[in-house]
Amino acid sequence: MARLKDKVAIVTGGASGFGEGIAKRFAEEGAKVVVADLNARGAERVAEEIGENAVWVQTDVSMKSEIDEMVAKAMDAFGRIDIMVNNAGFTHRNGDLLGVSEDTFDLINAVNMKAIYYSTLAVVPILEKQGGGSIISTASTAGLRPRPGLTWYNASKGWVITATKSMAVELAPKNIRVNCLCPVAGETGMLAQFMGADTPELREKFRSSIPLGRLSTPLDIANAALWLASEEAAFITGVALEVDGGRCI
Q: Is 153 a catalytic residue?
A: yes
DSSP output for 8-24: EEEEETTTSHHHHHHHH
Taking a C-beta distance cutoff of 8 angstroms, is the pair 99, 148 a contact? no
d(CA 93, CA 81): 35
Q: In one letter, which amino acid is 169?
A: V
Exposure string (b/e) for 41-78, b if CB count within 10 Å is 16 or more?
Answer: ebbbbbbeebeeebbbbbbbbbeeebbebbbebbeeeb
Q: Which residues contact 199 (CB under 8 A, 6 or more apart)?
A: none
Catalytic residue among 18, 118, 153, 194: 153
d(CA 189, CA 39): 12
d(CA 98, CA 83): 38
Full 3-state SS string of 28-94: HCCCEEEEEECCHHHHHHHHHHHCCCEEEEECCCCCHHHHHHHHHHHHHHHCCCCEEEECCCCCCCC
Furthest CA-CA distance within the chain: 52
Enumerate the active-site residues: 153
